[in-house]
Chains A and B, each alone.
Chain A
Amino acid sequence: MRVLLTGLGTYWGGSLAQALERLDDVEVIVGLDTEEPTVPLERTEFVRADTGYSILSRIVRATQVDTIIHSHLIVDTRNVSSRTLHEINVIGTMNLLAAAGATGSPVRKVIVKSSTLVYGSSYQNPTFFREEMQRARSPRTSVERSLVEVEDYLRDFAEDNPHVVVSLLRFSNVLGERLDTPLSKILRLPAVPEIFGFDPRLQFTHHEDVLGALLFCAQHDVPGIYNVAADGLIPWSEVCTILAKRRVALPPVGTNLFMAPFNRFGLVQLPRETLELLRYGRGVDNRRFKRAGFQYHYTSAGAVAAFAEALRLERSVGDAQPAYRYERDVENFFRHSPAVVRSGDA
């Protein structure tokens, strides 16, 4: 397997590259990003590319990759302008798929990491979304609109390229100790915000299950759309109980207006889609991916409890992992210098 990975500098790109390096049948891993990797990598090749991936078709031709994992879709809109969002999500995906679908392209599999944000949060929504169900209202936030657009492109791509296995995974509220999301951020606060009078039910996913799901798609052929979310919908109040946190209520009317100054000055950032989630929650049906053979290692409550444990550890010892800084020359030396004895050569 020769893999091309987008967003190598992001949390997901980094952890995914680390995971792929451990698989023997993965020969080559090429990681694209505008930012340098933030985790130590052994054999992944980092290529600095602009957000539009203009050099992509050249890379695909040159490296003869057969699998593309598109993990670089922005789902966290804190500190991201809607223009950047559109550029990275929509234009980026468009170029990526154009390169993957070019004539003579060696690509046989495309895996995209999307989000259950495409379903939105509304009082008119069903309690559980199945993959083929439509949301009750058309998307109102820029991130939801961009993801819906990305999925449309992907659908066209799948239609036009029947020889390519296309897996679209929609992940739901991922929790992980090193992962920074609007939800994980507010769950780290001494008092967790809630919207007065609302106790929505949410579905969480452990970050290891996310990696597991993406690797599962890389190793098996699972074409189609899949929700990835652990079993169990849990009320926000219970999430706070598991984390042993107090709650603080936001006004139920004019919540967006109330939060505007906070969002602006970065004290507590709750984008609009997260506020909607805290009002109405969201549930998805995860049975299709299970039927395809995937097994979860955590339930929703288990994912929250694991997050609680990580926070407790963090409180005692701080960040347990050593800091890493990417040094281009050092990385090149280890990968390409004849002086380095590599296990494969011996």
Chain B
Amino acid sequence: MSTDRRESDSSSDLRRSRLSERGERADRASAVPARVADGTVVPIERGRAESLETPLYDPRMSDVDHWGRSEHAREIARRLYEPLYSQWFRAEWEGLEHVPREGGALLVANHAAAIPSDAPVIMHGIEKELGRAVYGLADYLFVSIPVVGTLWSRGGGVPAHPDNAYRLLHDDQALALVFPEGSKGPGKHYSERYKLRRFGRGGFVETAMRAGVPVVPIAVMGAEESMPILYKNRTLAKLFNLPYVPLTANMLALGPLGLVGYFPAKFRLRVLPPVHFDVPPDQERYSRSRVMEEADDIRELIQQELYKMLQQRRSVWFG
């Protein structure tokens, strides 16, 4: 995530902020637009203008919101995914009380498996247990793939643009899920499982600071073993312009089915107490070192929690 959210009225606006300030002060009371009837325009009297305070006629025919998420589509997805969630992965949560019941929060988790299995588990789990919608911030790449992109966005996927994240958290007060490791998490070799990658450049912390919401770290155990990568081909990845082209254990064990079939690894998810940042929201910029420090701390929190969870794990398959 970059930091250009407040590239501000200065750089590109007409004659700088002085203008827009004046514009924003334009007298609200006298601001009576024109009422148009049969193609001709007449100024409307004040009384009419005030009656416009009532919501405008909005004949929507679907429940797709401005992010592209549809509760109806989620409902179907939840029904289809439920067996995988509770029978196959047998996901179990701890510390769900740390996820806020209202207001925005940025959920941050470790990321793993060649086709990441953790994102749907977290989104499904929180929607099922708490009844709150979760928006998954992910690579733009999804949007450009036909069908997949549409399904992904109906299911709550949002391109991880810093401004999208800010709006979700600040304006919509929603729950947003992000994996700061990006594709470096799922793209790592099996031998490096549960070793967290760099948390980007800390953009997620900056967005949370700006939006004035806490970060809720989640440690996920089980995803690594659901589709481990044994070998990566760099040439093919370059050729297809993909972050990685893996050979997974699933492909070896299950054949063609292994392209999409997960191993039934036991999922345990632990939500850690929310991290609040003691900074004012909506600042032009935040101290780079502070942001990096916070990001590192959160990464370390999840890392240590994972070690603890792994110490207690007796079996990959039974937990």
Contacts and interface: CB of A to CB of B under 8 A. Distances in A.
Interface of A: 15, 18-19, 22-23, 123-128, 130-134, 154-155, 158-159, 162, 166-168, 178, 195-199, 201, 208, 211-213, 215-216, 219-226, 231-235, 237-238, 241-242, 252, 280, 283, 288, 291-299, 301-302, 305, 321
Contact of A224 (B13, B33, B57, B148): B13
B15 A127 contact: no
A197 B147 CA distance: 4
A127 B67 contact: yes
A132 B15 contact: no
Nearest to A253: B146
Nearest to A240: B61
Contacts of B7: 132-134
Interface string B42-58: 11000001001000111
B150 A197 contact: yes
A195 B11 CA distance: 36
B23 A212 contact: no
A19 B34 contact: yes
B292 to A, nearest CB: 24
A223 B20 contact: yes
Interface size class of B (residues with CB under 8 A): 35 or more
Interface string B144-186: 1111111000000011010110010000000000000000000
B15 A215 contact: no
A220 B31 contact: yes
Contacts of B33: 212-213, 215-216, 294-295, 297
Contact of B61 (A221, A233, A242): A242
Question: What 10 A-B pairs are tightest by C-beta distance, nearest first?
Answer: A197-B146, A293-B31, A19-B41, A208-B36, A197-B147, A223-B19, A158-B15, A123-B143, A252-B146, A224-B20
B8 interface: yes
A288 B140 contact: no
A131 B22 CA distance: 16
A134 B19 contact: no
B167 A198 contact: no
A124 to B, nearest CB: 5
Interface of B: 4, 7-15, 19-20, 22-24, 26-28, 30-31, 33-36, 39-43, 49, 52, 56-62, 64, 66-68, 140-141, 143-150, 158-159, 161, 163-164, 167
Contacts of B144: 123, 280
B19 A302 contact: no
A166 B146 contact: no
A126 B164 contact: yes
24 contacts: A18-B39, A23-B43, A123-B144, A127-B66, A127-B163, A127-B167, A128-B66, A132-B12, A166-B14, A166-B19, A197-B146, A211-B34, A212-B34, A215-B33, A223-B15, A231-B58, A234-B62, A235-B62, A252-B146, A292-B26, A295-B33, A297-B35, A301-B58, A301-B61
B23 A201 contact: no
Given A123-B143, A222-B23, A292-B23, A178 B39 contact: yes
Contacts of B22: 221, 223-224
A126 B14 CA distance: 21
A224 B12 CA distance: 10
Contacts of A130: 163
A127 B8 contact: no
A3 to B, nearest CB: 14
A15 B39 contact: yes
A297 B143 CA distance: 32
Contacts of A321: 39
A315 B222 CA distance: 60
Contact of A302 (B42, B57, B141, B150): B57
Contact of B27 (A123, A283, A291, A293): A293
Contacts of B140: 123-124
B38 to A, nearest CB: 9
B59 A302 contact: yes
A128 B165 CA distance: 11
Most chain A CB atoms below 10 A, which of B27, B31, B42, B159 = B31
B56 A296 contact: yes
Contacts of B31: 216, 220, 292-295
B150 A198 contact: yes
Contacts of A293: 26-28, 30-31
Given A288-B20, A293-B28, A201 B64 contact: yes
A172 to B, nearest CB: 13
A221 B67 contact: no
Given A158-B19, A197-B149, A223 B14 contact: yes
Given A132-B7, A223-B23, A224-B19, A211 B146 contact: no
Contacts of B147: 196-197
A232 B163 contact: no
Given A197-B148, A234-B62, A297-B36, 15 more contacts: A15-B41, A18-B40, A125-B161, A131-B12, A162-B15, A197-B146, A201-B66, A212-B34, A224-B15, A235-B64, A291-B24, A295-B33, A296-B56, A301-B58, A302-B59
Given A127-B67, A128-B163, A238-B64, A224 B58 contact: no
Contacts of B39: 15, 18, 178, 321
